[in-house]
Structure 1
Amino acid sequence: NGILYAGTWGFGIFKSSDNGATWSEFNNGLNGFLTIQALTAYNTTIFAGTVGGGLYKSTNGGDWTKALCGYQLVWSLDSKSGAIFAGTYGDGIYISTDGGNNFTKLASSPVAFVYSIAIDGSGKVYVSSVANGVYVSADNGNTWTAVGLGGYNVSSLVVDPNSSNVYAGTKAGQMFKISGNQNTTDIDDVNGLPTEFSLSQNYPNPFNPTTTIEFSIKEAGNYSLKVYDMLGQEIATLINNSINAGTYKVAFDASKLSSGIYIYRLSGNNINLTKKMILTK
């Protein structure tokens, strides 16, 4: 309804009805829990995640009341039609499918410490954890797939409203662009363009069942990244399209493959780079 809300660290919540020209305090009902980690809107209700006080909600601009969420450290929030997601610092992800009246813990939460949640235009739910990178779910959190960026300390996720891109920010000041498709997820480091072609060793290696492959290309063109067995038979095509210059990370899921040594090859624009990886089950 044209009202802006801002959460602060220690001073609660403020709102503005004039595009941010002036702000007024909006803390009635928060019971002194004034460190706000996250805010999201669902229909006419605003939800606020607090440090120590759990989850609060305000409907139609009224005072804050306690929402039924079973954990007191709510670090991240986002919503879409039919579902509200709450990420906690220590107890995984909670979901409400009844407009925020009740929240239940997702048994499938991929991580316990959820720093950020973002939902793209297609309804995919992305979550980040500082130690374990980014995960995505296309079925309301029933199953999750590792996107990558493990060890990058991803502390924030933002959706581009004009595309399907999700941007991941790290504590070190890096920014990555994540664009999903049916087969894999590409991650583009938007901080600078590489000056040479390179194909890095996958990590972890050995792995079971997922691993991340990183590569850099210095000029735009048509490229493919494929996986082969030791007999030279093609196992998977991770990328086969035109992409811009940049550094990319691709998650490879080998859950349907047997243990062994596999080869991955980056080809295009007169380059052909190859490395080996070890799947151990």
Structure 2
Amino acid sequence: MIKLSIVFIALYFITRLANSQSSWTALGSGMDARVHTVKAMNNNLFAGGEFLSAGNISANRIAKWDGTNWSSLGSGTDSIVLDIEISGDSLFACGDFINAGGVTTNRIAMWYGNSWNALGNGTNGRIRTIFIKDSIIYAGGDFTSAGSITANYIAKWDGNSWSALGSGMNNSVYSIGSIGNDIYAAGLFTSAGGTPANRIAKWDGNSWVPLGSGLNNMVQSIFTSGNLVYAGGNFTMAGGIPANRIAVWNGSNWSPIGNGFNNIVISLEMFNNNLIASGTFTLSGSDTVNRIAKWNGNSWESLGGGMNNIVRNISVWENTIYAGGLFTMAGNTSANYIAKLTDIPTALNGYTEKIYSFQLHQNYPNPFNPSTRISFSLPERSFATLRIYDILGREVAILLNSELNTGNHSVNWDASNYPSGVYFYMFEAGSYTESKRMILLK
């Protein structure tokens, strides 16, 4: 059995896919100053930041890319845009600005149709992040009041008025997300609702709940997937264990993600079932990753050679990742503060391009609790098997053992009855064999 384990794990490393050969491309001539936020939606990209022009047009701190050209959103804002979110036909922007399109908006505004609109009286301080759930807009930042009410660093807008989430935090909120009906907030704070909560907490609708002992320094970004909360920032400890600037919460415990990074993680996203991190970092362990990296389930990989300066934000639409920041080079491409990368080799559920080869994809989510999805592609009708093995090489489950038609397929594995640990999944179809590693965290 031990011999089988050694052979199996060796096979895993031998059959790992090589890094994508995709490369970064510029979006026209880019901007004239840094980009703080990018948001892709319906084949359009919206960017916000400190710039005054996009391409060759005037665009005060916010602009839209339609795939060919840049355009402005009215007369833009009078100061920095830090975040953008979209809901239906409405775009919401936040930051340091007081006016948007000549309208007094106080740090948050809505673009609808062809004009900017205020959300009540806004806030009395910087809004760093906005998050939309069920038509409710959650805002976090450096403020202590929203509209006419006290709201310490976090508040919500229901379309008519602002309200607080309990007594809020004792310091800034940098990022907001959700799982189910619960709202998660992260930042610089060490208490939430008067309860000790180190830089991250959950609002259950009535009170704030800490996530274990939290993190030992700033959390800049959170990303939720299934029952997992990913956190990135400038911390080196998560739940009392070493975690270099990136970690995952499974509902009970914190875990590091690989070697982490040598500097700050600013933004997190999912791209083709892989976690993507960006920020100021250049290394993961001894591997050069240059400010943007992909977690492949085992280690962090560079994306297209990375950037020559900070990547502040990333956004994904279909098969393309967009990045904005302080960089002027993306890989070997000149790209002024904004760029995109399209992952040509991928073939996931929902894509209909012709399949030319057998492929096994990394499970998603990974790490996971308690279930995950494993996807694969068949270029021809084949008899396929998919087996799960534990770290000792023991077969623990058979997920697939049947003939399938050509196309993209996926199988779910519910590991509710299995212990936490490292598992491997082996896929066989015709003469093709490949295996990958995954982590169950309970």
Structure with the bigger RCO (C-alpha within 8 Å, sep 6+) is 2
> 1:1-80 residue pairs with structure 2 within 5 A?
1-11=134-144, 12-18=153-159, 21-30=160-169, 32-33=170-171, 35-53=172-190, 54-59=199-204, 61-68=205-212, 69-80=214-225
Structure 1: unaligned runs, 5 residues or longer: 184-281
Give the direction of change, closer, same or farther, for the CA distance of 1:6–1:29 in structure 2 (3 Å limit). Answer: closer
Give the % identical residues. 19
> 1:259-270 residue pairs with structure 2 within 5 A?
none
Alignment partner of 1:164 out of 295, 299, 319: 319
Determine the C-alpha separation between the residues in 2 that align with 1:112 and 1:72. 12
Contact 1:89–1:113 (8 Å) recurs in 2: yes
Alignment partner of 1:179 out of 342, 345, 357: 342
Determine the C-alpha separation between the residues in 2 that align with 1:108 and 1:40. 25
Contact 1:28–1:63 (8 Å) recurs in 2: no
Determine the C-alpha separation between the residues in 2 that align with 1:46 and 1:178. 31
Determine the C-alpha separation between the residues in 2 that align with 1:57 and 1:77. 12
Alignment partner of 1:125 out of 275, 291, 299: 275
Contact 1:28–1:64 (8 Å) recurs in 2: no
Contact 1:164–1:180 (8 Å) recurs in 2: yes
RMSD: 2.3
Deviation at 1:7, TM superposition (A): 0.9
Determine the C-alpha separation between the residues in 1 that align with 2:219 and 2:300. 20
Determine the C-alpha separation between the residues in 1 that align with 2:274 and 2:163. 34
Aligned to 2:292: 134
Contact 1:158–1:168 (8 Å) recurs in 2: yes
Contact 2:215–2:235 (8 Å) recurs in 1: no
Contact 2:177–2:184 (8 Å) recurs in 1: yes
Question: Does 1:145 find its partner at 2:301?
Answer: yes
Per-residue Cα deviation, 1:57-112 (whole angstroms, up to 9, x for no partner): 112x22222222232311111011242210021421110223xx332223421444
Counterpart of 1:145, as a letter, is: E
Deviation at 1:155, TM superposition (A): 1.0
Deviation at 1:42, TM superposition (A): 1.5
Give the direction of change, closer, same or farther, for the CA distance of 1:174–1:27 in structure 2 (3 Å limit). Answer: farther
Question: Does 1:87 find its partner at 2:242?
Answer: no
Give the direction of change, closer, same or farther, for the CA distance of 1:113–1:150 in structure 2 (3 Å limit). Answer: same
Structure 2: unaligned runs, 5 residues or longer: 1-133, 145-152, 191-198, 237-244, 283-290, 328-335, 347-442
Aligned to 1:97: 250
Contact 2:294–2:301 (8 Å) recurs in 1: yes
Determine the C-alpha separation between the residues in 1 that align with 2:326 and 2:207. 34
Determine the C-alpha separation between the residues in 1 that align with 2:183 and 2:295. 24
Aligned to 1:106: 257
Determine the C-alpha separation between the residues in 2 that align with 1:125 and 1:158. 12
Q: Which has the larger radius of gyration?
A: 2
Determine the C-alpha separation between the residues in 1 that align with 2:202 and 2:261. 26
Per-residue Cα deviation, 1:21-63 (whole angstroms, up to 9, x for no partner): 5322325252x12x1111111122211111142111112x222
Determine the C-alpha separation between the residues in 1 that align with 2:342 and 2:141. 30
Counterpart of 1:37, as a letter, is: Y
Contact 2:258–2:300 (8 Å) recurs in 1: no
TM-score by length of 2: 0.36
Counterpart of 2:343, as a letter, is: G
Moved >3 Å (runs of 4+): none
Determine the C-alpha separation between the residues in 1 that align with 2:296 and 2:206. 34
Contact 2:173–2:189 (8 Å) recurs in 1: no
> 1:220-235 residue pairs with structure 2 within 5 A?
none
Counterpart of 2:265, as a letter, is: V
Counterpart of 2:248, as a letter, is: I
Per-residue Cα deviation, 1:166-222 (whole angstroms, up to 9, x for no partner): 211103671111222448xxxxxxxxxxxxxxxxxxxxxxxxxxxxxxxxxxxxxxx
Counterpart of 2:215, as a letter, is: G
Determine the C-alpha separation between the residues in 2 that align with 1:124 and 1:169. 19
TM-score by length of 1: 0.55
Per-residue Cα deviation, 1:139-185 (whole angstroms, up to 9, x for no partner): 2xx3211113332211111222xx122211103671111222448xx
